[in-house]
Each structure stands twice: as structure tokens, then as C-alpha cells.
A and B are shown apart, each in its own frame.
Chain A
């Protein structure tokens, strides 16, 4: 594998690169400097993730090159799929009880509220998470990072938000892991989140990170959110009021989807 990583004559495989972290970081710093001096950095700044971010090599052939086309949501887009209690088991919100024993690692609770762009709670909607285990290994046949698989941890959870828009999972803190974007590339520890709003156009997949991670500055996926304030919105807060005595640590992370297109009058009161 190391031969592959060092072979500069290899075809441009987006999965492997011999570039150094210093080179990749220099590219990311150049984008940041350009952004800091631009008009886009004023006010709320750039709130979206850049799709064209070459430091993440796999994005090079997978980002649209044309501007997104403006479309007022219509018909089905003004609604979201409905998920109900029958779609999931309440135990799916606890990733530590899916097997015969306790998973290895730091048990923790992750909770927060899902809100729309007007601050209204997103009620009874599906939240899905997936993550690596404490050693930074996914239970996926193509993940060959030589860290242990944990027989007591799958790393998949689901729940519905409650009437206040609150979700809550019990899980294990994931570890950082290497990836082949460049030489010695490591992802900051993160949990993938999949969310639905009240409209289909609010559909969001994102990642939650942990405060103070030394890998933030080095990571092309995190830094593809170029505005530093916007990317901090992906970082959870340690919350001692969520932490439980003799049981688990606690983190809080609120998620804001974009604005709903429906007027409140059209909202369901189910």
C-alpha cells in the first residue's frame, strides 16, 4: 500500500495521493486568506459548504461546475416524508445496548434540538447517526484501517425528535481515523448526522465534531466550510448538565435547518 501512496506516476486516483499535509494545508490556507479578504466574509459570511474544494481530492470530479438553478419549492417539496414510532425501535437511540456487552470507549450522551431557520422546533422527524468506534474503525467491509472492530458496537442509531425538537443518543465517542486523501491524513473524530425538516428542501446530511480537536486545521472536509464561524457550528459543546454521575459524559449540539417554505397556517397540528 505504501508503494501506491508514493507512486507519483499512478493514475489520478482520488483515493490516494502522495501529497504532504503541508502542501494540502497550504492550499487550504490560501483559500482561507482569499475568503478573509472578500466581500463574502462580511455579515453572516458564507454559510454553505463549498462543493469545489480540491484539497478534498475526491471532490475534484464530483462537484457540479455550474451554478445551482433557483427553484421555488413546489408540490411534494413543500412537505417531508413522515416517519412514525413504527419506523424505529426506541432502543435504536442507544448505540451501547445493541449487542451482548458494553462497547469499548468513552460512553457519552449526545443531545440537542433540531430547529428550522425561524427557530421553530422540527418535531417528530427522523434523525439518523452513524460513526466509527472508539478505535476509529467503521463496521464496513471496505474499512481496512488496522484498528480493532468492537463486537459490541455497530455505530448506527436512529431516533425521532420530540415535541420540542430534541433528539438524544447514547453512544461511544468515536476515534479519529486515517484516510487516503494525502500522506498521513487523519479525520477529526466525528459523528455523521442525517436530518429531515418539515419541507423536503431542508434535507441535510452533516457531521458533528468534538470541541478542541487538534485535527480541525488539517482536515479538508471540515475546512470545506470556509467561514470559520460557519464551521464552528458543527462543533458540539461539552455540557456537564448532560453528563451523568458514574455513567457517561455529555455533549450538546443544536442543528439549524434552512427556513421552511410553508407558512405556519399550513402546518400540521397532528
Chain B
């Protein structure tokens, strides 16, 4: 029997009162000795920041393994669950406080008002430029999947459309 998927729909317009929660973007507390920021902005096809997008982050532990710990919605500040969620601000900016994954990328989803279905992408660590998957992406678009190191950690902008449009992913059976 074929189980046909339920199609997606936009998260907009007013998801923020429902999906945001205390500490959603803080996978570790700011004062954690190994804390880094993964931050950036979301832009539309006119190069304008998108103030009503929701970015979700799912990443490996520093060991490289996916965490199997619960507690992503009610954090105890000691358990690293690898999961976070951040709505963009008026300037289109998001920022997570997290740990460097012991695997080459942060897995991200992008939802927004005006975006009819969610999108998947990956923010690769700058050191991962030789990754086998990245080599399957056209050379001139590859940089859209690479985070840039800065003083705080990593910067990763997401462009829904236009010049330097981010590479978004389709997975088999999806």
C-alpha cells in the first residue's frame, strides 16, 4: 500500500506566539566555556531581510553523535540536546548559542510567511569545504552552504531567492 505524504503549508502568518519558547535558540547557556554563535540573516528575492521566518537547528554533539536526550523545550542547562529554534527579528536576523558539532554541518530548516512549504539546508563548517556532498553542488553555488568563521562563531546567511540563492535540499523519498 502506498502512503502518500501529507503536503506542507506555510507556517505564517502568526507562528511566533506558538512556536517560540524560552531559551529556544540557546542550546547551551551563553556562559558555557565552549559556546559559539551560529547567526545570520534571511533575505528575500529583493535582498530585503525576512522578519517573519523561523529557523530550526539540529546538530551532532561535539563527539559527532546525534544526541538522544530529551529536554529541547524545557532546557535544564546541563543537557545538550542538539536542537534549537529561532525566529528572525525585524532585521531578518537569527542567532543560536550552541557548541561546534563534531560532524561537518548544522542541519537547518527554514519556515516563513510567504514560503509555502518548509525548506531544508545545511550550514557547513568552514573547514568542511572538501566534503563529498559539497562537491556534488555546482562550484559557483557551493559557498551558499558554507558558514563563515567570525569572532562570535559562524555566520550563515540564507537567501530564499535571487543572487546567491541558498542551495536547498531534496531528500530521496521526500
| Chain A positions within 8 Å of B117 at CB level | 48-49, 51
| Chain B positions within 8 Å of A139 at CB level | 17
| Chain B positions within 8 Å of A269 at CB level | none
Q: How far apart are B151's CB and chain A's nearest CB, in angstroms?
A: 26
Asked whether any CB of chain A lies closer than 8 Å to the CB of B10, the reply is yes
Q: How far apart are B127's CB and chain A's nearest CB, in angstroms?
A: 15
Which of A53, A66, A82 sits near B70, CB closer than 8 Å?
A: A82
Asked whether any CB of chain B lies closer than 8 Å to the CB of A201, the reply is yes
Contact flag A62-B44 (CB < 8 Å), given A51-B117, A68-B168, A76-B107: yes
| Chain B positions within 8 Å of A200 at CB level | 58, 107, 109
Asked whether any CB of chain B lies closer than 8 Å to the CB of A118, the reply is yes
Complex Cα–Cα for A68 and B70 (A) = 31
| Chain B positions within 8 Å of A138 at CB level | 13-14, 17
Q: Are A258 and B174 in contact (CB under 8 A)?
A: yes
Asked whether any CB of chain B lies closer than 8 Å to the CB of A99, the reply is no
Q: Are B82 and A156 in contact (CB under 8 A)?
A: no
Which of B46, B59, B116, B167 sits near A69, CB closer than 8 Å?
A: B167
Q: How far apart are A138's CB and chain B's nearest CB, in angstroms?
A: 4
Q: Are B44 and A205 in contact (CB under 8 A)?
A: no
Q: Are A258 and B5 in contact (CB under 8 A)?
A: yes
| Chain A positions within 8 Å of B68 at CB level | 79, 82, 268
Q: Are A82 and B170 in contact (CB under 8 A)?
A: no
Q: Which of A1-9, A26-34, A226-234 contacts B (4 or more CB under 8 A)?
A: A226-234
Q: Are A87 and B74 in contact (CB under 8 A)?
A: yes
| Chain A positions within 8 Å of B116 at CB level | 49-51, 53, 56, 59, 63, 221, 224
Q: Are B66 and A259 in contact (CB under 8 A)?
A: no
Which of B3, B14, B59, B174 sits near A143, CB closer than 8 Å?
A: B14
Which of B9, B14, B50, B82 sits near A206, CB closer than 8 Å?
A: B9
| Chain A positions within 8 Å of B123 at CB level | none
Asked whether any CB of chain A lies closer than 8 Å to the CB of B77, the reply is no
| Chain A positions within 8 Å of B118 at CB level | 203-205
Q: Are A257 and B6 in contact (CB under 8 A)?
A: yes
| Chain A positions within 8 Å of B13 at CB level | 138, 142-143, 179
| Chain B positions within 8 Å of A202 at CB level | 174
Asked whether any CB of chain A lies closer than 8 Å to the CB of B135, the reply is no
- How many positions in chain B have a CB within 8 Å of any CB in the partner chain? 75
Q: Are A76 and B60 in contact (CB under 8 A)?
A: yes
| Chain A positions within 8 Å of B74 at CB level | 86-88
- How many positions in chain A have a CB within 8 Å of any CB in the partner chain? 83
Measured CB to CB, the nearest residue on chain B to A77 is: B107
Contact flag A70-B172 (CB < 8 Å), given A63-B161, A84-B70: yes
Contact with A along B149-163 (1 / 0, CB 8 A): 000000000001110
Contact with A along B59-90 (1 / 0, CB 8 A): 11000101111111110000001110000000
Asked whether any CB of chain B lies closer than 8 Å to the CB of A211, the reply is no
Measured CB to CB, the nearest residue on chain B to A201 is: B171
Q: How far apart are B153's CB and chain A's nearest CB, in angstroms?
A: 18
Q: Are B171 and A115 in contact (CB under 8 A)?
A: no
| Chain A positions within 8 Å of B73 at CB level | 83, 87-88, 126, 158
A-B contact pairs, 19 of them (CB 8 A): A51-B115, A59-B114, A61-B161, A65-B162, A75-B60, A77-B171, A78-B66, A80-B58, A81-B83, A82-B69, A82-B70, A82-B72, A87-B73, A116-B3, A117-B3, A155-B18, A156-B18, A200-B109, A206-B8
Q: Which 8 A-B pairs have the closest CB atoms?
A: A84-B70, A58-B114, A130-B18, A259-B173, A68-B170, A81-B83, A62-B114, A61-B45
Additional pairs, 18, CB under 8 Å, beyond known A61-B114, A205-B11, A257-B5:
A47-B7, A60-B45, A63-B116, A69-B168, A70-B136, A75-B60, A76-B58, A84-B70, A86-B71, A87-B74, A129-B18, A139-B17, A192-B18, A204-B118, A234-B6, A255-B6, A256-B3, A256-B5
